[in-house]
Each structure stands twice: as structure tokens, then as C-alpha cells.
């Protein structure tokens, strides 16, 4: 197993951050299913690179942002990358 990296998935509330992760990692998102508010979840995926090395990726699914609420600063200190979901 190669290195591990951390990706924080952030965005506004109810844009489908969790749905994208569920479909990407498990292929089990059901369109039209009842949405549930996420507080914080961690998904772990194993990805094979073009060099044939498997790397572990931890996706931090964050709570949706609302007007007047600042993104929690502790995520900035440990993330290797950010995915901002706007759809």
C-alpha cells in the first residue's frame, strides 16, 4: 500500500456531497432517496494509480455550510486537498 492522503469535501447544505461520495465509492446512491443531514463522516477509498500503486484516500464529508456560518478551521491544518461541491 502506498501513501495515504486526506481530502475534505465541503460546500453548501443540500448540494449532494454525500451522494457523490456514496456513488463514487460504493455505487449505491439512490436518486430521489430521502436526504439526511451530515454532521461529519469519513469515507476510506483505495485507489490504484497509473503506476500500479494502491493509495488510501480518506474523504472527510463535512456538514453543509449555511449563510453566516464559517467553515471549521481545523480542516485546513490536516487536509491534503479540498473538493468544493457547488451543484
| Residue boundaries of the structural domains of the chain | 4-85
pLDDT for res 6 = 96
pLDDT for res 85 = 80
Give 4-85's CATH code, choosing from 2.40.50.140, 3.40.50.300, 3.40.109.10, 3.40.605.10: 3.40.50.300
Q: What is the dihedral of CA 29, 56, 13, 87, to 10 degrees?
A: -70
φ/ψ of 5, rounded to 5, equals -135, 160
Which residues face 14 on adjacent strands?
none
pLDDT for res 58 = 97
pLDDT for res 49 = 87
* Cβ partners under 8 Å of residue 41, min gap 6: 18, 60, 61
Q: Which residues of the chain have pLDDT under 70?
A: 1-2, 87
pLDDT for res 68 = 86
Asked if residue 63 lies in contact with residue 85, where contact means CB atoms within 8 angstroms, the answer is no
pLDDT for res 67 = 87
pLDDT for res 80 = 95
C-alpha closest to that of 1 among 50, 59, 42, 47: 47
Amino acid at each position: 500500500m502506498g501513501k495515504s492522503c486526506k481530502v475534505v469535501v465541503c460546500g453548501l447544505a443540500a448540494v449532494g456531497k454525500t451522494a457523490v461520495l456514496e456513488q463514487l465509492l460504493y455505487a449505491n446512491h439512490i436518486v430521489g432517496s430521502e436526504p439526511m443531514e451530515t454532521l461529519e463522516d469519513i469515507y476510506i477509498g483505495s485507489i490504484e494509480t497509473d503506476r500500479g500503486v494502491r493509495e488510501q484516500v480518506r474523504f472527510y464529508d463535512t456538514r453543509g455550510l449555511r449563510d453566516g456560518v464559517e467553515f471549521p478551521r481545523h480542516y485546513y491544518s490536516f487536509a491534503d486537498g479540498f473538493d468544493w461541491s457547488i451543484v
